[in-house]
Amino acid sequence: MKKILWWILFAVTMGAQAAAPDSATLTAPRLKPLTEQSQAARLAAELLTRYHYKPVPLDDAMSGKIFDRYLKSLDGEKYFFVQSDIDQLQAARTRLDDAIITENLSLPFAIFNLYTQRVVERFTYARSLLKEGFDFRQKESFRNEREKEAWPKSEQAMQELWRMRVKNDWLRLKLAGKDDKSIVETLDKRYENSVRRMARTKSEDAFQIFMNAYTMAIEPHTNYMGSRAVEEFDISMRLSLVGIGAVLAEKDDYTIIRELVPGGPAHLSEQLKAGDRIVGIAQGEKGVMTDILGWRLDDTVAQIRGSADSVVLLDILPVDAGPDGKHKVVSLTRKKISLEQQAAKKSVISVADGETIRRIGVISLPVFYEDFAARGKGDPDFKSATRDVARLLDELKAEKVDGVLIDLRNNGGGSLMEAVELSGLFIGKGPVVQQRDAQGRVTVAKAANAAVAWGGPLGVLINRGSASASEIFAAAIQDYGRGLLIGERSFGKGTVQTMVNLDQIAKNKTPAFGELKLTIAQFFRVNGGTTQLRGVEPEISFPSFADEDSSGESGFDNALPWAKIKAADYAPQGNPKARLPALQMRHETRVRTVEDFQFLKEDAAEVTRLRKKNAVSLNETERRKERDDLEAKLASREKTREAVKKPQPDVPGVAADPAKKVSTQDDGLQADERNLANELAAEKARKDAKDILLQEAAHILSDEVGLLKRETRVAARNRPAPPMVAAQKQRQEPAPAAVW
């Protein structure tokens, strides 16, 4: 009882202190926990302390870890709280466990409310700084990354920090050619929008951030998901939703149509276009229109999605109409929308090797998707990454490609079963991955009824963003010697999660508790090692822009350690490492003459240098010189590209179409501040630009194809012939085709 009274007193005290500075400027709501949230937190704690792969008791020690991670989640860059806030909040350090156990979340919500108040105060102060302007002749610098910095010791120190932050925002726009008036307008609106976003926070926001501070204090990949987060996760796995087929964005209190999905209801209606603003929504042909001006984007999306074949009415302010322009009402019937941009795709790259032209098939897989619900119901046509890749492999075989490159860059994982079954398309029925649960039991996963869909030369392209299921697949291909890994060291996530529906456990008839993504096992390669922390090392490495100290699994302070178990019973199918010295030499020789590859190496080194420097000058003369130097370097690169004679479109290093050039200069704007048409054009140009790393990976795989064919010819010449009929067989039969 004393603890509960202390929490209430603390929450009231925090609220009183929060209101003290200037109540006229405070617009953030005072959030309170809902009963179902407190119940969900306690239920989640019971599961986490009993069934997690690394169960940790919910005690004062864990409370301290939750406290630290909660503050980091709210204000990791130290822009909002001052040291006196932190000192005051320390009283809660050992109380958060009790808040969860006793189903009283007033304390974590009080911390969140103080945070939202501080955000409003800081951005309000930022707006006030715009009235005076800045002197850019001074020698000052601004630190970009502040995670490792100390909390500002006083309000005066905090104001000085924000003065430099706003000064940097102003200088970026000034260097981009904006005049003072437009700079003030842009920044004032930007900071005002930040205040508005705080004003729209809900208890679900506070609860989800707090719960993830708890779950991730145990281990980085255990997460809590509220109902909307669960819905987005399910959509990402099944690659479909029921809606109107429009990509929406938020800009100046409006919900705007950013893109139309080809073939979707919005596109087929021919009544909507990019830039149109949705200002009202009604359900059904006779529904009452609800004004959504100023709504959060997720609230708008929830109203537009619905059941298949139902009708939604949209009140539209056309893109070319002013704020007081004529509206129109558009009626749309919701349909199932396939998110094909996240599905596996194929392309073919032709690579020249002397007079020989080799065709390398590329399959890009953004995520290991699987419609869990449809598969569970026995739907024979459930969406599956493996099925799509198998179909694409059949198409590539029909196109007579010489090798296949699987592009898993920035593929963060997905379905474990899909990773196993996809591996089976290349290695057959052997074991793919081992799992060890919390009790130490090890199981081996194999692709059931696997049949090899591609037995030819294989490459896998990975980077630091390739994680989890991507690492399972890449590691299996590497351990079997089935293909060549190219790119960067992968993320290093070696844990397995399962989704736990808290409502099902609580037997709630109406969804209220959300779901827990719970780590239940660690996976190991068939060779016995794990990808945990160390990731998967490619045979041939590319330049990297990632900071391995802060990105990937090694960037977490509580990641599980690397470990090793007994190898599974598997038989390697090849040895690409035998050809590695020759492939490495050809790669290095080739890229020395490829200007864009060398430029990329220079840029990676420059990013590393700037990251270590972690500061930008606030002196206009110095910044202009840096900008001029960059422009001169880019101009020099363009001259180098133009000097290349007879450019070959499939050779890396050749410049993209000049009409599709992407500006590399900083415009000082945020995404929602840019002209939509220009933003979409720039985005398309980035997608269409030459992918230097993909092109070089195709060249490396082409080199391997050439070496393999040479080995086959040598083996055929040196093979002893059967007695008596050898001469006859050599005359009548050509050299045998390679067996992959």
Q: What is the dihedral of CA 376, 378, 384, 389, to 10 degrees?
A: 140
Q: How far apart are CA 41 and CA 215, in angstroms?
A: 10
Q: How far apart are CA 314 and CA 304, in angstroms?
A: 9
**E strands along 370-441, which residues?**
403-407, 431-437
Q: How far apart are CA 335 and CA 312, in angstroms?
A: 11
Active-site annotation holder among 38, 63, 364, 468? 468
Q: How far apart are CA 470 and CA 490, in angstroms?
A: 9
- Cβ neighbours for 241, distance < 8 A, ≥ 6 positions apart: 235, 305, 336, 337, 339
- Report how far apart, in Å, the C-alpha atoms of 480 and of each of 420, 433, 474, 508 are: 14, 12, 10, 47
Active site residue 54: no
Count of all residues that appear for the chain in the document: 740
The owner of tokens 């074949």 is 309
Active-site annotation holder among 98, 276, 479, 596? 479
| Nearest in space to 187 (alpha carbons), one of 669, 535, 600 | 669
- Report how far apart, in Å, the C-alpha atoms of 263 and of each of 247, 249, 255, 270, 488 are: 13, 20, 22, 11, 37
How many separate helices (H) and strands (E) can be counted in the chain?
A: 23, 21
The owner of tokens 């139309």 is 260
Q: How far apart are CA 578 and CA 589, in angstroms?
A: 19
Active site residue 468: yes
- Cβ neighbours for 550, distance < 8 A, ≥ 6 positions apart: none
Inter-residue contact 482 to 714 (CB < 8 Å): no
- Report how far apart, in Å, the C-alpha atoms of 550 and of each of 72, 147, 561, 613 are: 15, 11, 16, 15
3-class state of residue 597 by DSSP: helix
**E strands along 474-576, which residues?**
484-487, 495-501, 515-524, 540-541
Active-site annotation holder among 65, 167, 174, 493? 493
CA atoms within 13 A on the CB side of 326: 1
- Please count the other Cβ atoms lying within 10 Å of the Cβ belonging to residue 399: 11
Inter-residue contact 459 to 704 (CB < 8 Å): yes
Q: What is the dihedral of CA 192, 194, 200, 202, to 10 degrees?
A: -160
Write out the catalytic residue numbers: 468, 479, 493
